[in-house]
Amino acid sequence: MTTPSSSRQLTGSADFILPSGRNTIRVQDVDFGYGSRVVFSGLDLTVPEGQITAILGPSGSGKSTLIELMTGQKKALRGQVEVGGEEVGALSRQALYRLRRRMGVLFQDGALFTDLSVFENVAFPVREHTHLAEALIHHLVFMKLEAVGLRGAHSLYPSELSGGMARRVALARSIVLDPLIMFYDEPLVGLDPIAMGMILRLIVHLNRSLGITSVIVSHDVTEMLEVADWCYLIAEGRVQGAGSPAVIREMESPWVRQFVSGSAEGPVPFHYPSREYTADLFGKVRPA
């Protein structure tokens, strides 16, 4: 194996060099799908410890599903998903809950409780998973709100927050138990450029200052190539490109080139698979 900084492109999607060193997460030969729809077919990737790894890909490529596999919300049909040396799919419910205590997840929509204040939203995981005294919970919550710049908003409710503020509150809640691994599911969706910059700065700051492992799934190519240490591009159920941001920018793979350039022309199809157009226009009308 080689380190991300010295990685190079190889031929064939199965031959990409994976990052070396201690690995927090390993996805090995994973198949997953819904009925006849294949999401992953022989997916292989490795997330190095203490770095920011970006999982890129077009809409519908399974990026969010990959987080669900890594956190045990879904199980692979075949293959293994290992987190911290433990096979997630083989864990008991109790063991899975223990593993999740080491994880933080920033959901795509923030998932704040609308009837709880900012303070109570951040305090919620602490109350659920610990027996800390209220005075300690108070200190802990205010420390995390200070880290995301929203200590002064502790008494507000989600309906009183902007989109960027709500995302930062959700981030404070996801780190309140000091996770070793952070998952970010499309953290920049719906944010203006200023809010995007704030969230990216927080992701990098938390990763560097706390030494946590960060996994970001996103279709925001430009932003991810600026902050990530290592990138994967997934499409058609497999890894189509892997490497440092510099390597990704120079790859000749048509999948990578189309996605990085945002071109409408390439292997990523515009149309969802369907029968012949004329069959739908002039054939028997199908029930809705």
CA-based angle 86:125:49, to the nearest 5? Answer: 35
Total tally of structural domains belonging to the chain: 1
The residues, any chain, with a CB within 8 Å of residue 85's CB and separated by 6 or more, are none
Tokens of 76: 């692979």
By the 8 A CB rule, do 104 and 179 touch? yes
pLDDT at 286 over 70: no
Whether residue 4 has pLDDT greater than 60 = no
Which whole number is the average pLDDT over 42-67? 88
The verdict on residue 121 lying in a domain is no
Mean pLDDT, rounded, for 87-98: 89
- Give the structural domain span for 284: 1-7+16-102+212-288
Q: In this structure, is residue 273 part of a structural domain?
A: yes
Q: Quick check: is 153 in a domain?
A: no
Cβ pair 92, 83 in contact under 8 A: no
Q: How confident is the model at residue 102 (pLDDT cuts 50, 70, 90)?
A: confident
Do the domain assignments include residue 181? no
Say what the pLDDT of residue 108 is. 75
Which CATH number characterizes residue 276's domain? 3.40.50.300
> Does some domain include residue 246?
yes
Supply the DSSP symbol for 255: H
Query: Which pTM does this prediction carry?
Result: 0.80
107 falls within a domain: no
Three-class DSSP category at 253: coil
Split at pLDDT 50, 70, 90, the class of 273 is low
User: What is the per-residue pLDDT for 78?
Assistant: 92
How crowded is residue 53: how many other Cβ atoms within 10 Å of its Cβ?
24
Residue owning tokens 């000091």: 178
Query: What does the alpha-carbon distance between residue 255 and residue 234 come to, in Å, rounded to a whole number?
Result: 9
Q: Is 243 part of any domain?
A: yes
Pairing of strands 23-34, 37-48: antiparallel
In a domain, 63, yes or no: yes
